[in-house]
Structure formats: C-alpha cells, structure tokens
Structure 1
C-alpha cells in the first residue's frame, strides 16, 4: 500500500477527525504519486512508509479518484518543468561564455 500513498505530506484543515485501529487520530495527508497527485487521505498515525513500525494499515481516501486527464498531465508537467530548467541552465552557461569572450564581467 505504500506505493499508493507515499510520498505524502501531512496537511491541516477543517476535516472530520478519523481514528485508526491503533486508537490514534489518523492524520490527513496528501499523496504525490503519479497515479494520485494531490489526492487527500487518512492513514494510520504510526505509518511512516515502512512496514516495520507496527502500523494497523488504516487507510481512507478523502477525495474522489482523479480523472484520467489529471493523472496524465501531472507527470507531463513535471517533465516539462525539468526540461525548461535544463534549458535555462544551458542559456546561462552560453551567456557566461559570451561575457568571457567579450571581456564583460
């Protein structure tokens, strides 16, 4: 199940408190996986992404499933941002080279 909900981010908000089978308040988190970008869920308070800490496997989605377009667009946008960052880095290198050639500091 960790491949569905991790990586995640704990969030705060006016949501009904949920209690997991461990008897602890289940924190509200957000998934940032490609299949569930930004989708909120409640999970066991003891769950930390591993199966070694004795969590109870409590898991409950808050938001409805994302539409296909959101699932497809998220990874595309991440890839595009990386491409643009690489392009900016390359342009900065080129500008530095021209400054050196022209003797401008």
Structure 2
C-alpha cells in the first residue's frame, strides 16, 4: 500500500476550514457584520505586516487583516483595534490553541 505524497492546495485548505468550522471569524459592530480570515488563513502579507508594524501598534496589522475600507467602516460603526484582539483571544481560548506570536495575540 503506497502512502499519499501529493496533496491539492484547495483540498488542504478546505479540510482545514472544515476542522475549524470555517475560514473566517465575524464580529458585529453597530449591528453590521465584519469578517477577518481565521488564523491559519491569513495572507502572508498580513503576517509580514504584523511582524513589521509592532512599533506602530496594532492598527496597521488589523487594517491589513480586515482590509482598509472594512476597517474604516468597522471603526465608524464603533469598533476598535482592541475589539479584533478580543475576538482573536476569544477564538484562541475556545480552540485551546496557540495562535503564535503576533501583535494581535
């Protein structure tokens, strides 16, 4: 019996999303939903922003994670960068997992 050594990227991501219950986390502010990619689905650009912007606080990371337009709408609806940190912390605690080191953990 041979072991599988080739995997489809789409299938890997779909199985990961299925295990995690999806690939997005959603928070509501002002009655409007705002979504961010779930940890494990963050684009590399967002991870680089998290590492490179530590001295600038969390806003550049959260803005990159949400997208600039969505971030502006989130703030206008009463959201704060710390609210996204709270969302990530809540997810981390619910999963019993370590999200790794970032400005939002």
TM-score by shorter chain over 0.5: no
Structure with the higher helix share, 1 or 2: 2
Structure with the higher strand share, 1 or 2: 1
| Bigger relative CO (Cα 8 Å, ≥ 6 apart) | 2
TM range (shorter): under 0.3
With normalisation by structure 2, the TM-score equals 0.25
